[in-house]
Amino acid sequence: MSSGIPLRKRLLVRLLIASVLIAVCSVAATAWLAVETTTRALREEQGQVLADDMDVLTRLSGYAATHPDWKGVEDSLRELSGRIGRRIALTTPDRRVIADSAPPGTPLPPRAAATVDPLSTDTHTDSGAQRGGIDPRVVGPYRLPAGERARLDALAEERRACYENNGVQATVARTPTGRPTLTDQDGSAVDYVPLDCADGRLNTPTATEEKALAELTEQARTCLDEHGLDYVEPLFIGVDVTDRRMDTRYVMGKLKEHPYDRAQRQADDCVDQARRAQLDPYVAPAADLFLGVGDRPAARFDLSPANWTKVVGAAGLVLAVTVAVTAVVATRLVRPLRALTAAAQQPPDRHVRVPVTTRDETGILAAAFNELTERRARLEAQRKAMVSDIAHELRSPLTNIRGWLEVTRDGVVEPDPALLSSLHEEALVLQRVIDDLQDLADADAGTLRLHREPVRADELLDQVAAAHRVAADAAGVTLRAAAQGTPWLDADPVRMRQALGNLVSNALRHTPQGGTVTLAARREGDEVVLEVTDTGTGIAPDELPHVFDRFWRAEKSRSRRTGGSGLGLPIVRHLLAAHGGTAEATSEPGAGSVFTLRLPGGSAPDDT
């Protein structure tokens, strides 16, 4: 059997190749571990290099944050290059050199080490780290003049003295804009404000800040208006003196929109875009940072010939052992697979099983194969039963139609209106069975089309109840419809009426005179629950799992007086699946049944 399989595709060969690759990786990992101790110093040096790189990026970001262009950066760049002993180059995004510590014409490294953009990267707040956001050193129009600084310094000193009188030790520090802030002994902001010291004067924007905030409000207004965000004037109501970051220092006021959290996030995005546009003229353009090794040779590690010999010998031994072990294991793995292949090649009508001799993956595969065989046998039995059921459903009306037509042709009976009405009713039964089979075929093929639209569940129940009111009155059954609120569905109203109609028809057939059939709807979280409850004969517990099977009937005699074609409930299940919902049934013999439909909830149309 294996002779027809190409050598390269045989499982044994593929396992051997995989084992060799694993062995090679193992040898490589072992060699790496062997030289780990000798490369520790190199890693420490690399760590220092990374720290130097971060310091360079921080210094250059600070320069870009405090200068409108890169003029004059050459001196700072050469000083940094001399300190770390490596080349530093700044270029535009199109690799046009802005400044370079190397001689002109020296090729750039293949990739940039980082991008210097203080409007997008904050390298100042956390030492040695890059954070998203605006660098606090970008102050632009928020830089305070000397007079305002002096006034705020006096207010800060008063608050510091007030803190001290209340037992809180604080120190006055200064932010890049010139604003004073109070910090504790470890340099972090003092987040506790004694009640006697909370006069609010230090948190009030100065004239310079109010002017800059007014410009920011105007620049953000277009974005806020586009998103329909209304706010209480002014947009910015104060200064958070404990926050040194530009993008969160100035406190925004309340919005009028609901839900508030979503509106606040959108407003923050609008203000952030406007702030970057406002600060852009005050910072140098974004530049790519290139770092080279300069005159310092790169650290390298090499193995001696003796070490190479040891590594090659160990690798050969590992490969030999690996191949031998893999050959033994692969042979044992292939044997049950061959048994599975032989069983799968048997004629389908034999339904051959394979013995499960292990509990590993191969044993699980054999068990799954046996389960698949059993499922195929069941499906074949169901197919034969379905063909028989379809023949039964079509034979009865066709036999009646043929019989009456023959006796009418022979002149035994006259084609009076009653006979024609009876033949028409039999034709309708035949058409209904064919339509149900077509719906099921479309559902199985995935071609069941839905025309979704917003549907009110309470109106849907009223329509179904109205359509079956005459049948209910004729059967002496009370038909009710009730909904909690006005839950909405995103569904096909015609298909949903068909599904509920099948359930109501089924309930009316099995509810005795004087009973009640109730349609209900309610919202449960993100779902809408529709229920059809009857006070009929109920369903036995052993029959309940089969209610949605095709051609299933509670009445085994298959009398058309007490049951339909047996296709209504399977159609309900398929229609619910097409809508992304589920259909369930619960019942108590003698007390009635409850059919529950769960569908994803929808929202009311905008024009309502």
Cα–Cα distance for residue pair 502/443, rounded to 1 Å: 16
Phi-psi region of 474 (alpha: psi -120 to 50; beta: other; left: phi over 0): alpha
pLDDT of residue 45: 56
Say if residues 134 and 246 touch (Cβ distance below 8 Å): yes
Radius of gyration of the chain (CA): 41
Question: CB neighbours of 148 closer than 8 A, spacing ≥ 6?
Answer: 178, 206, 207, 208
Instruction: Provide mean pLDDT across the span 204-223.
Output: 86
Dist CA 451 CA 493 (whole Å): 8
Q: State pTM to two decimals.
A: 0.43
Alpha-carbon distance of 123 to 602, in angstroms, equals 47
Q: Which of 62, 59, 65 is nearest to 142 (CA)?
A: 65
Residues 6+ apart with CB under 8 A from 124: 58, 61, 62, 65, 135, 136, 137
Q: What is the pLDDT of residues 42-53, one digit of tens each?
A: 455 556 667 788
Give residue 529's pLDDT band: very low, low, confident or very high (50, 70, 90): very high
Q: What is the pLDDT of residue 44?
A: 57
Position 46 scores a pLDDT of: 57
The answer to whether residues 156 and 174 touch, using CB atoms and an 8 Å cutoff, is no
- Residue 94: burial class (beta carbons within 10 Å; 0-12, 13-18, 19+): exposed
Say whether pLDDT at 279 is over 60.
Answer: yes
The pLDDT > 90 percentage for the chain reads: 7
The residues facing 480 across adjacent strands are 518
Mean pLDDT of 359-377: 76
Give me the residue label for tokens 């990026």.
57
Q: How far apart are CA 76 and CA 599, in angstroms?
A: 67
Question: Is 298's pLDDT higher than 60?
Answer: no
What is the enclosing helix (H) or strand (E) of 19?
helix 11-34
Strand runs labelled E in 266-414: 287-291
Q: b or e along 40-62 (b: 16 or more beta carbons within 10 Å of the residue's beta carbon)?
A: eeeeeeeeebeebbbbbbbbbbb
Q: What is the pLDDT of residues 314-355, one digit of tens each?
A: 767 777 777 777 777 777 767 777 777 777 777 766 667 777
Cα separation, 566 vs 554, in Å, equals: 9
Name the one residue in this structure whose structure tokens are 């595969």.
Answer: 365
Please report the pLDDT score of residue 297 as a whole number: 38
* Contacts of residue 572, Cβ cutoff 8 Å, sequence gap at least 6: 499, 502, 503, 548, 583, 595, 597
Q: Tell me the C-alpha distance between 151 and 57, whole Å.
A: 35
Confidence band (pLDDT; 50, 70, 90) for 129?
confident
Give the whole-angstrom CA distance, residue 464 versus residue 473. Answer: 14
Which two three-digit tokens encode residue 323?
Answer: 């191949």
- Say which range, 344-353, 547-556, 572-581, has the weakest mean pLDDT: 547-556
602: which 2 tokens? 């929808």
| Per-residue model confidence (pLDDT) at position 307 | 62
Q: What is the DSSP letter of 123?
A: -
pLDDT in tens, 8-27: 666 667 677 777 777 777 76
